Amino acid sequence: MKKHNFNAGPSILPQIAIENTAKAVLDLNGIGLSLLEISHRSKDFQAVIDEAVALFKELLNIPEGYQVLFLGGGASLQFAMIPYNLLSKKAAYLETGVWAKKAVKEAKLFGEVNVVASSADKNFSYIPKNFTVPADADYFHITTNNTIYGTEIRTDFDCKVPLIADMSSDILSRPMDVSKYAMIYGGAQKNLGPAGVTFVIVREDILGKVERAIPTMLDYRTHIKEGSMFNTPPCLPIFTVKETLKWIKSLGGLKVIEKMNIEKAELLYNAIDNSKMFVGTAEKDSRSLMNICFVMKEEYKDKEEAFMEFAKNRGMVGIKGHRSVGGFRASTYNALPKESVEALVACMRDFEKENA
């Protein structure tokens, strides 16, 4: 049976990226050695990381003055590295979900944190509007896509202070203006590659302004100077990131990817909105293209487990909602084919016919 992979992360990857990584594990580019056993300082791996950086810059049209880094520790380590490197007196944060809250918690260890707006009052079901960012903030931090609640910021904010974005789950899902951001970062395990590597796109001129001493490994300037090679980087995940970036380029870039993502999301949201049994949980003007969250209407709550089993028997994988919110979540990342969304919609309609 064909599996339809809606996992939230680690998640579906392009088949070609998986196949090429598997080949490299056995023999990297015909050199007679595995990707897993070569030196990260060899010319063979340097070529891998150089190509990954170049593709990132090309696909996102990254301006001069920015550096692309591949680090360890996930986005969670970045929650602390960002204030360590950038927070002198006060930082501003937009609180739109669990990961934004965790970022706020870490920043408070380093200075004053101004939460300019929060959607906690409605269980993070919307993106706040009409908030004011303090002009004296060292930076303003946002989480662009909220995997647990299915909300997303799909525009690039104009911001008078350095704008920092956690784009773990929607990077490369649409064209964007990188010049509006001082830093973009995220874990790779949604749209880019396997778990184990973190990408950071940082404008160099924001660094070196705090007075505190920064441990060597936690200083972005260390990794810029050493080209992400200060210590051994996560070689295999970086290779897969490179292959995923090559796949995106082969499709025609981010305008094509965005069109595909909109089509997939509209298909599923329309099915939810026209259903007798299912209902979406995110407010319509805040809906994510990457994580589509929905529940059973109150009168059908007792059928949730039955639907999970029904969907599993149809090859649906990973549609159970996050344990903190329940219900269902379909993650429709770049690599998910439209046919998988069509299969889920058919599954929902068939279950509804039999049970509503």
Domain annotation covers residue 175: yes
Q: Is 350 a catalytic residue?
A: no
Report yes or no on 6 lying in a domain.
Answer: no
Domain boundary among 189, 221, 251: 251
Would 283 be classed as within a structural domain? yes
**Which of 251, 278, 305 is the C-terminal boundary of a domain?**
251
**Active-site residue, from 138, 170, 190, 320:** 190
Instruction: Return the beta strands (E) in the chain as ranges.
Output: 4-5, 66-71, 90-95, 112-118, 140-143, 145-146, 151-152, 163-166, 183-187, 198-203, 278-280, 291-296, 316-317, 328-331
- Rounded Cα gap, residues 184 and 194, in angstroms: 19
Average model confidence (pLDDT) across the chain: 97
Residues 234 and 282 in one domain: no
pLDDT digits (tens, 9 = 90+) for 96-132: 999 999 999 999 999 999 999 999 999 999 999 999 9
Do the domain assignments include residue 3? no
Nearest to 236 by CA among 90, 80, 101, 34: 34
Quick one: pLDDT band at residue 324, thresholds 50, 70, 90?
A: confident
Claim to verify: residue 56 and residue 141 sit in the same structural domain: yes
Describe the crossing of helices 338-355 and 304-313 by its angle, rounded to 10 degrees: 130
206-236 tens-digit pLDDT: 999 999 999 999 999 999 999 999 999 999 9
For residues 270 and 244, membership in a common domain is answered with: no
Active site residue 247: no
* Predicted local confidence at residue 323, as pLDDT: 84
- What is the model's pLDDT at position 356? 85
Is the same domain home to 306 and 242? no
pLDDT bracket for residue 328 (50, 70, 90): very high
- Would you say residue 1 lies in a domain? no
* Same domain for 184 and 130: yes
| One domain, residues 247 and 257 | no
Is 190 assigned a catalytic role?
yes
The residue segments making up the domain with residue 313 are 253-355
Domain at 304, CATH number? 3.90.1150.10
Burial 88-107 (b: 16+ CB within 10 A, else e): eebbbbbbbbbbbbbbbebb
Give the global pTM.
0.98
Q: What is the pLDDT of residues 135-187, one digit of tens each?
A: 999 999 999 999 999 999 999 999 999 999 999 999 999 999 999 999 999 99
* Same-domain check for residues 80 and 167: yes
Which of these is catalytic: 99, 138, 219, 320?
Answer: 99
Clarify whether residues 197 and 342 are in a common domain.
no
What's the domain count of the chain? Answer: 2
pLDDT at position 325: 87
For residue 197, pLDDT beyond 90: yes
Is residue 293, in this structure, part of any structural domain at all? yes
| Residue-wise pLDDT tens digits, 261-317 | 999 999 999 999 999 999 999 999 999 999 999 999 999 999 999 999 999 999 999
Please tell me whether residues 221 and 351 are part of one structural domain.
no
Q: Is residue 10 situated within a structural domain?
A: no
Tell me the mean pLDDT in the region 66-85.
98
* pLDDT band, very low/low/confident/very high, at 1 (cuts 50, 70, 90): confident
Q: What is the C-alpha to C-alpha distance for residues 51 and 207, in angstroms, rounded to an integer?
A: 25
Condensed to tens digits (0 to 9), the pLDDT of residues 21-75 reads 999 999 999 999 999 999 999 999 999 999 999 999 999 999 999 999 999 999 9
pLDDT bin (cut points 50, 70, 90) of residue 205 is very high
Residue among 138, 166, 170, 219 flagged as catalytic? 166
Please indicate, yes or no, if residue 8 is contained in any of the structural domains. no
Dist. CA 143–CA 107, nearest whole Å = 14
Q: Is pLDDT above 90 for 240?
A: yes
| Residue 128 belongs to domain with CATH number | 3.40.640.10
